[in-house]
Amino acid sequence: MTRFAAPIAEQIWDMKYRLKEADGTPVDQSVDDTWRRIARSLAAVEAEPELWEGRFYSALEDFKYLPAGRIIAGAGTARSVTLFNCFVMGTIPDSMGGIFDMLKEAALTMQQGGGIGYDFSTIRPRGAEVHGVAADASGPLSFMDVWDAMCRTIMSAGSRRGAMMATMRCDHPDVEQFIEAKQDAARLRMFNLSVLITDPFMEAVKADGSWDLQFKGRIYRTVQARDLWNKIMQATYDFAEPGVIFIDRINRMNNLGYAETIAATNPCGEQPLPPYGACLLGSINMARLVRNPFEAGADLDPEALDDLVRLSIRMMDNVVDASRFPLPQQAEEARAKRRIGLGVTGLADALLMTGLRYGSEEAAAQTEAWMKRIARAAYLASVDLAREKGAFPLFDAEKYLASGNMMQMDEDVREAVRTHGIRNALLTSIAPTGTISLYAGNVSSGIEPVFAYAYKRKVLQKDGSRTEEEVVDYAVKLWRDKFGDAPLPDYFVNAQTLPPLDHVRMQAAAQKWIDSSISKTINCPEDIDVEAFKDVYMAAWDQGCKGCTTYRPNAVTGSVLSVSESTESAPEVDQGAEVVYLTEPLDRPQSLEGATYKLKWPDSEHAIYITINDIVQGTRRRPFEVFINSKNMEHFAWTVALTRMISAVFRRGGDVSFVVEELKAVFDPRGGAWMQGRYVPSILAAIGGVIERHMIATGFLAGEGMGLKSDPQAERMVAGGEAPRGKACPSCGSYALRMVEGCMTCADCGFSKCS
């Protein structure tokens, strides 16, 4: 017997969460061992650890409460990792020394596995005077390039790369450049971008008024607010970024408005945080709490929900004491406020199981009622913890009750807080749950609608072959178990067919009782016009959302996983492709065509010469070998090694563009250099740039930061009867990427850009 509802769930557990020795030998023999390890670790801070270990295990058992992946993977392992998912870093000073101090803190945080958020609005705009050095400022975007290069070189704990959020205020003089930054596909690839939108700006947009772009009281220029808003909308329509964060609303609704000011969020946007703030996340699996699913009396078990919420709050509060922190400032901030973020997953499945159509007014009303019940249970559980263990250190009853979300709480909850205090300043947040939802049996993710009721997933076997399996949504599987092949009722809708404004209605309904924020993607059809697209954001503002993230598949962003049940003929492959896929390495011909490039690194006495030779077959040309030479003997060993390694990779064929990306990502802690108007983080990154330009010139790459002119895998896939769909997963190579909660997520291997 297995605890897992689907093979994919067990594979996710084994790949991401199962404790193993360094050599790969499993320590957790079953998922029960994983639950026991977590329960024991989080109960260790209790006065009666054995009692609470058993209760915590009961909450984890059968995937009812799902801690964030970092807790599942890290709790009880004795590894030097943080159990907190993400951090907002300290305020960036407007000075060179302060900026690079912040860069160091970011690197240390990501080294332990934390994603980070930063507000770059505090850096003076491009062209502003820098006193004392007779120079003009390079602006915040130039320093974001440095952060981006650093992030690409840091491997987070486990196998996760760092994820970052960059925000900029809508009145910063460089905001227009910020809006357009990721239209260059090679730039800021490790960042999510969001514009901090203020209440006065939205008022100016609606009134078609003017808007000052300013920094520290100096107005640099004045624009029309609506023109700036339209620039944000057009960029998001075309490139899926930047996102929009309604920052004044976030600060106004913050329970700690009397003690902090928020200017940034974690990478997925659901946790607005002050400087050095950390997000601690977990989710109630609502799909596991529905009684009598698909029957006339189906409902969510209220007593089971209350009990589960109370246990979850206690476990999460204990994480604050059990976790390590990359920086002492982060530990101090977390323990002063004990901020946690309990959310939900499986909401759409729970609605289906109770006969409600996601996005309808009835479903929105039920969602709001469920969220209120969770909020009440969470706040009352935190009050009980305060009676037992004490309120959070910065608690001030008068100020706390007069701020943020507490203003709308029921009077009995307010009275309990007034009398006994509260253990955790903020308690609720809806996080991305893509991977843990798969781990829990493919329940619907977070508060998102079901993406696909069933889809095919390729599974890599130990012998290198791939098999195909069907992945079925949790609620659909229950329906099939009950009713066999009976057709699904018409209230079964999915993310592909749902009108965008129905998404907004659901986000707004949940937001009312969430004291932090929500990670949600509003899927828009490719053919939506710009005006209707802008209406989505205005609806999010009008209905009280704290932010808005959309995804519209197009030629730039890529399509998402196809879920059509019909079988269509594969599109014709572009026969004009200029790329050759080599299944075996070729012997070197007597002569090759190539070019030699001179690279002069600033402050280096000798230039580096890079020769790139190509193999030509018919009219097709691809890189075959590289030679790197310099008179500087300090470069000799690593240039020879680089020559041999890159040439060996080139001779294997296929998509070798990753060589360029890996070289361009190398960050030299001693500092990079400005070359041809842009910051290059290292000499190796400069070499990568030379190789990239050669590949573009010969037609191997489509452009800077872009992939192959055509995909060499495409012919093989179409020959096998399956057409490639959108962008390939950078982890497993399959065409199964889909946008979930603001993150491109692979349905085959579970890879997520933000996870």
Q: How many CB atoms lie within 10 A of CB 462?
A: 5
Beta 278-279 vs 86-88: how paired, if at all?
A: antiparallel
Does the annotation mark 754 as catalytic? Answer: no
SS3 content of the chain, % helix, strand, coil (to 5): 40, 20, 40
Cβ pair 692, 684 in contact under 8 A: no
Looking at residue 252, its amino acid is R
Q: HSE-up of 173 (CA within 13 Å, CB side)?
A: 19
Cβ pair 196, 121 in contact under 8 A: yes
Whole-angstrom distance, CA of residue 644 vs CA of residue 626: 8
Cβ pair 691, 660 in contact under 8 A: yes
User: 247 exposed, middle or buried (CB, 10 Å; 0-12, 13-18, 19+)?
Assistant: buried
| DSSP string covering 571-601 | PPP-TT------SSPPPPPS--EEEEEEE--
Whole-angstrom distance, CA of residue 168 vs CA of residue 179: 9
In our burial notation (b when 16+ CB lie closer than 10 A, e otherwise), range 646-656 reads: bbebbbebbbb
Tokens of 326: 């990359």
Residue 32 Cα to chain centre, angstroms: 28
Does the annotation mark 270 as catalytic? Answer: yes
Active-site residue (options: 251, 266, 285, 405): 266
User: 726 exposed, middle or buried (CB, 10 Å; 0-12, 13-18, 19+)?
Assistant: middle
Active-site residue (options: 53, 105, 260, 270): 270
N-term to C-term CA, the chain = 30
Active-site residue (options: 86, 268, 545, 743): 268
Does the annotation mark 268 as catalytic? Answer: yes
Tokens of 404: 């943020």
Rounded alpha-carbon distances, angstroms, from residue 618 to 341, 481, 496, 577:
59, 57, 43, 12
Looking at residue 128, its amino acid is A
Tokens of 351: 């609605």
Cis peptide before 681 (omega within 30 of 0): no
Q: Which long-range contacts (CB under 8 A, 24 or more apart) does 625-628 make?
A: 625/588, 625/592, 625/650, 625/651, 626/650, 626/691, 628/687
Q: Which residues have a catalytic role annotated?
A: 266, 268, 270
